[in-house]
Chains A and B, each alone.
Chain A
Amino acid sequence: MNYNFKFKALAPYTSEIIDGVILTLQLSAVTMLLGLAIGLAVAIASISPKSALRRPARIYVEAIRNTPLIVQLFIVFFGLPTLGIKLGANSAALIALSINLGAYSSEILRAGFESIRPSQIEAGRSLGLTAAQTFRHVVLFPAIKSIYPALASQFVLLMLTTSIVSSIGATELFGQAAFIDSRTYRSFEVYALITLSYLFLTLAFRSLFSAIYWLVFVRRSRA
């Protein structure tokens, strides 16, 4: 073993690493919200009885889930400027990631909706709830509760996936690591450090999602 670890060489780049962590967090958080919103809309459309809604939703889900994220990213960043739509690296990353997450989360949500038996919806309606009330209390809430772990995993996976967007020049954590690597040539140290950073972020997100689950589902059902 003749490799000398020199973590000190990374010290001048502390602010770059912090910037990278912040951008990764921002990208992840905004993408989670946008992706969930897209996913919810698409999931509702794909269980709709109207094929005008169902068909485009299915096409979107299949197109996104069956193509690589990096291709979608390159189309948004390098392809759209040809059509006159020019987005910065970070906005392009946000849009591509949200579109991607939207397709995956819509499939998870659809599975949740389909787990609700039709008799329960009929029961809700016959108790005098409106269609919207039935959807909210009888379908949406129990559906999200049952698919919550899968959705949380998808979100954590998304946070890890943001590392791909450095390839279009976004300066999130992995982009900053590659930058520091190109300046210090201490590849092993840099990537060991950001491995730990990603691990820490993953554990933080997992704790956050567990806390949300407890607040929204456990505590509420106890009360």
Chain B
Amino acid sequence: MFKHLTKIVSAALIAGSFMAGSSQATDLQDILSEGKVRIGVPVDVAPFGSNDANNNPVGLDVDMATNIAEALGVELELQQITGANRIPYLLTGKLDIVISVMGATPQRALQIAFSSPYSGISGGVFGPKDIPVSSADDLTDQTIAVARGTTQDLLLSKLAPDANIQRYDDDATAAAAFTSGQAELFATADIVAKVMMTQDPSLELYPKFIMMFNPTHIGVRHDSPQLLQWLNTYVFVGMLDGSLAALTEKWLGSELPDLPSL
């Protein structure tokens, strides 16, 4: 019985990894010859990627995806993703490019390749004024909601390993935990806190402390070096001609700081 079981399980695993493998390796030439590029954008991080009143994806990352497909001269196939599944989507070959408010870390760079930064956000911990926290060291037993696996999660876990961190599947669920009172603080991006306060003025999401400025990068698989080089050229030119600064101005309402190339 168990012998058969191990056989079945390993057969399923091999079949699974074969399927995952077969659709990979789409570099620049494959995209051009297929006439289609598959780009993942966030579904839950306004103003980078969310749905408007008519349920159409809108945001800075959505504009980036549209502009990139246009510059490539191919059809855009947009896929909405969350912070937790963006890297698996890319690695299993379901997407060619991920533009999803993604910060670069050496650990992530072991899995995927990052382009030069095209915009940026500040990550921090936000909450009501009367909670006496102004640095990670001030955290005691306050509950902090965060989307699992995001830069905020990784950084907060490192800065305050003993803090009471509640991890949720995505930013929207973590935000729900804060708005329903299940969590006292919310670790997220400054722009998310700002958008939430604009939508609901009764919410108190003031910055308690900022953990870091995160430049955002486009992600591709390591097996698409030509695509990566093309994206870097695209970002380089966009930085010089001011089109990326205009995009940041349009969606974030702030100036794009000078960002080093990668």
- List A residues at the B interface (Cβ < 8 Å): 1-3, 5, 74, 77-79, 81-82, 86, 89, 166-169, 175, 178-179, 181-183, 185, 187-188, 192, 195-196, 199
Contact = CB atoms under 8 A, between A and B. Distances in A.
A78 B169 contact: no
Contact of B149 (A2, A166, A181): A181
Contacts of A183: 149, 154
Interface in B92-148: 92, 107-108, 110-111, 145, 148
22 contacts: A1-B14, A2-B21, A2-B25, A2-B223, A3-B21, A74-B176, A78-B180, A81-B180, A81-B182, A82-B181, A86-B182, A89-B182, A168-B168, A168-B173, A168-B177, A169-B167, A178-B148, A179-B167, A182-B153, A185-B88, A187-B87, A187-B91
Given A167-B169, A169-B168, A179-B148, A185 B87 contact: yes
B181 A185 contact: no
Per DSSP, are chain B's interface residues mostly helix, strand or loop, or mixed? helix
A182 B182 contact: no
B66 interface: no
B29 interface: no
B21 A182 contact: no
A62 B177 CA distance: 29
A220 B154 CA distance: 57
Interface in B142-201: 145, 148-149, 153-154, 166-169, 173, 176-177, 180-182
Nearest to B5: A199
A183 B148 CA distance: 9
B259 interface: no
A9 to B, nearest CB: 10
Contact of B18 (A1, A5, A181, A199): A1
Interface residues of B, number: 36
Contact of B21 (A1, A74, A82, A185): A1
Contacts, number: 77
Interface of B: 5, 9, 13-14, 16-18, 20-21, 24-25, 84, 87-88, 91-92, 107-108, 110-111, 145, 148-149, 153-154, 166-169, 173, 176-177, 180-182, 223
B9 A82 contact: no
Nearest to A79: B180
Given A78-B180, A169-B167, A182 B20 contact: no
Contacts of B108: 185
B182 A1 contact: no
Nearest to B6: A196
Given A178-B169, A182-B153, A78 B111 contact: no
Contacts of B176: 74, 78
Given A178-B84, A182-B84, A192 B181 contact: no
B153 A187 contact: no
A166 B223 CA distance: 33
Contacts of B111: 185
B64 to A, nearest CB: 23
A106 to B, nearest CB: 30
A166 to B, nearest CB: 8
A115 to B, nearest CB: 32
A19 to B, nearest CB: 14
Nearest to A80: B180
Contacts of B173: 167-168
A3 B20 contact: yes
